[in-house]
Structure 1
Amino acid sequence: MTQKDVVTILAIIGALVVLGLVLRVTFALIGPLLILALGYVAYKMIQNKGGTR
């Protein structure tokens, strides 16, 4: 194996580690983000319903 092969393998391993951390953070935040989105939609629906004549 040449030095280029070793660097390539280490880069792939590093990318997988970063991707795993990003996915972990994403799935940890998906619950609160869904609650915020539903609250925003409900707020907009109430606001639009009260503003029409």
Structure 2
Amino acid sequence: MAHYSYPVDRHVLKDSNMDDGNENLQLLHRHCHDEKTFNDLVEIRKINGVAE
């Protein structure tokens, strides 16, 4: 039997003003998590005025 592991991710980033309870968590495939994390970092840089 194959063993799979899925990273736990937040729908809304922890630094936002949203409650960070279990309802904000989701399981993603590794490649989906990597893509979402990349996009989240791009958005954080835009918000903070950091050039890419």
TM-score normalised by the shorter chain: which range applies? 0.3 to 0.5
Q: Which has the higher contact order (CA 8 A, sep 6+)?
A: 2
Between structures 1 and 2, the one with greater strand share: 2
Kindly indicate which of the two structures has a greater share of residues assigned to helix: 1
Rg larger for: 1
- TM-score for both structures, normalised by structure 1: 0.43
- TM-score, normalising length from structure 2? 0.44
